[in-house]
Amino acid sequence: MSNDKKLEELAEQKTDSFTQLTPREELVAKLNGETAIVAWKEIERFFAKGNLLLIDQDVDLINCAADLSLDNAEEIKPLIDSEKIQRMPMEFVKENCKPETEFWTVVVAPYILSQLKK
């Protein structure tokens, strides 16, 4: 068997194993690739519209986004109840947000989930 043929077979095997992710794992991978570090001045308008969510530092941003996207109330409700997920509070903005303040963000329409970058 030629080396090219072996490489093709290995590539197919890797692709096949990758496609065996669960739908949630695929979503997490997709969301992970869509995260960005964004300055406050870029997301402030979403705060004004009420579409900016603040995610507590103790919460995994990507898993939270996946649960929100999948409408996983069992995981999301306790986070909302404990205010680990909340619409960006005005007090937080006043105390922490300058134009250059950076946030990790990911979009789960119609919301932008944001976490203050440490």
Residue 4 in this model has a pLDDT that exceeds 70 = no
Confidence of residue 21 (pLDDT cuts 50, 70, 90): confident
- Average pLDDT, rounded, for the chain: 89
Structural domain harbouring 45: 3-116
| Cis amide bond preceding 110, omega within 30 | yes
How many structural domains is the chain composed of? Answer: 1
Q: What percent of the chain has pLDDT over 70?
A: 84
Distance between terminal CA atoms of the chain?
Answer: 52
Residue 34 in this model has a pLDDT that exceeds 80 = yes
Q: What is the pTM of this model?
A: 0.80
Lowest mean pLDDT among 4-18, 31-45, 95-109: 4-18
Q: What is the DSSP letter of 82?
A: T
Residue 41 in this model has a pLDDT that exceeds 80 = yes
CA-based diameter of the chain, in Å? 67
Residue 14 in this model has a pLDDT that exceeds 70 = no
Q: Are 29 and 89 in contact (CB under 8 A)?
A: no
Rg (CA), the chain: 19
